[in-house]
């Protein structure tokens, strides 16, 4: 039975954070920037796909709102908790860890803050597209139609940005499968 998680964060900058979730931090040379541990900053969506998360929905307040909140709701099959902030390459510097959600003249209750959340169609659509792309690629890897050193396990590790993975794999697969991983 899937475990449902709801994760809430206050981004340092909402627009940059949403871009990071979708795109990671490309280095402009066909690869990704690395974090202090040497992991590739591939973004949240790829990282979730690398964990084989099958369902996710994203919500956020608008950038202009004085109170800022980003919420992800996911269904995962894993039977162990994952410390998100430290696991996703590049995530920690993108969010505040002090509990501050903004400054406002009015002190409102939590339902008022939650009412500002809107579904993020762009991230939801990109996640769903990625689910289909990853599924097609994994099927082809498992039938040996696509030869990847390390097979499915290496492909999923690459999606997560694990140390030592070949990020050039994205370009190859994107071209071969007409995807945008």
pLDDT in tens, 143-155: 877 777 788 898 8
Which whole-number Å values give the CA distances from 120 to 3, 45, 125, 171, in the listed order?
A: 22, 13, 9, 26
pLDDT in tens, 17-34: 999 999 999 998 878 999
pLDDT at 181: 77
Give the Cα separation of 6 and 151 in Å (integer).
31
pLDDT at 133: 92
For the chain, how many residues are written?
Answer: 181
pLDDT band at 77 (very low <50, low <70, confident <90, very high): confident
Among residues 178, 173, 170, 179, which one has the least CA distance to residue 24? 170
Instruction: Give 148 or 14, the one with higher predicted confidence.
Output: 14
Q: How far apart are the first and last CA of the chain?
A: 28
Residue 130 neighbours by CB under 8 Å, 6+ apart:
45, 46, 49, 181
Tokens matching residue 177? 């499968």
Answer yes or no: are the C-beta atoms of 39 and 162 closer than 8 Å.
Answer: yes
pTM exceeds 0.85: yes
pLDDT at 80: 62
């Amino acid at each position: 039975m899937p475990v449902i998680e709801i994760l809430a964060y206050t981004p340092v900058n909402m627009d940059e954070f949403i871009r990071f979730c979708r795109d990671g931090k490309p280095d402009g040379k066909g690869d990704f920037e690395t974090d202090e541990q040497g992991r590739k900053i591939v973004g949240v969506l790829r990282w979730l796909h690398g964990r084989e998360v099958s369902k996710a929905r994203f919500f956020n307040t608008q950038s202009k709102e004085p109170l800022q909140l980003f919420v992800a709701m996911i269904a995962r099959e894993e039977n162990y908790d994952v410390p998100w902030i430290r696991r996703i390459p590049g995530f920690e510097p993108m969010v505040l860890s002090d509990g501050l959600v903004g400054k406002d003249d009015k002190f409102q209750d939590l339902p008022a803050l939650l009412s500002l959340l809107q579904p993020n169609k762009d991230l939801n659509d990109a996640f769903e597209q990625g689910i289909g792309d990853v599924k097609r690629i994994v099927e082809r890897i498992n039938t040996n139609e696509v030869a990847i050193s390390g097979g499915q396990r290496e492909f999923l590790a690459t999606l997560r940005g694990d140390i030592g993975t070949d990020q050039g794999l994205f370009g190859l697969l994107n071209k071969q499968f007409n995807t945008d991983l």
